[in-house]
Structure 1
């Protein structure tokens, strides 16, 4: 079925558009999860996860965490233990000197905006 005033509200050449809806159970589960995310308990839990993610990201950037120089668990395990110790020293030094670990990143679009 075609809209008689279609040319007034779109320039698309595609005649029919389809709207896909998720099954009711899936939609209800997503809605319930989003409501849960508004609670203070969930925010505290997520803050813990965000801290862990930040530590992993710092290990990735500063110490090449996902790469191992060695083959075999007997050699890679000490490397990861030493990497964790190095991250602890880096973070302790930053805490003692008052140096922020990272600065907030600015998107490319935000950098284009005049000050």
Structure 2
């Protein structure tokens, strides 16, 4: 079952209750005149979510994710720099030839960058995230 199809329980606290709460700073940082709103998953789904989050901290998961990140980077480079999503030709044979040529061109560009010492691009920092000096 898709995770967004679970029935959640919505809980809302009034502003008056949240305003006087001694632990408000741990719960929310909003300055608006609204109370806190929570959407709670059923217990089984919440426990599954917590188990998945715990598994993501394991070294095995991080190794698998590093492989996936490398593939995602290759696909991103292909779509941005080599127009990988668009086929110029009609027919499987010509389309396959274009894909092979594009892959070869990507490898040549990567070799060129390696030979000339051009470093790999770092993950882009959004303009919003760049405003936070702790991240930049």
> TM class by shorter-chain length?
0.7 to 0.9
- Aligned: 1:89 with 2:108: yes
RMSD of aligned alpha carbons? 2.8
Task: Return the offset for 1:34.
Answer: 0.7
Structure number with the higher helix fraction is: 1
Per-residue deviation, residues 16-38 of structure 1 (Å, max 9, x unmatched): 97643212221111111111110
> Per the alignment, in what secondary structure is the counterpart of residue 39 of structure 2?
coil
5+ long unaligned stretches in structure 2: 1-12, 20-31
Correspondence for 1:30: 49
Give structure 1 stretches of 5+ with no counterpart.
none
So what's the TM-score if we normalise by structure 2?
0.67
Q: TM-score w.r.t. structure 1 length?
A: 0.78
Q: 1:31 to 1:87 in 2, by over 3 A?
A: same
Aligned CA distance change for structure 1 residues 31 and 103 (closer, same or farther; 3 Å): closer
Within-5 A mapping of 1:17-96: 19-96=38-115
Give 1:112 shift: 8.8
Other-structure match for 2:33: 11
Gap change, CA 1:19 and 1:108, over 3 Å in 2: closer
What is the distance in 2 between the residues matched to 1:54 and 1:30?
27
Aligned length, in residue pairs:
109
Change (3 A) 1:8 1:41: closer
Instruction: Please list every run of at least 4 consecutive aligned residues from structure 1 whose deviation after the TM superposition is greater than 3 angstroms.
Output: 16-19
Between the two structures, name the one with larger relative contact order (CA 8 Å, sep ≥ 6). 2
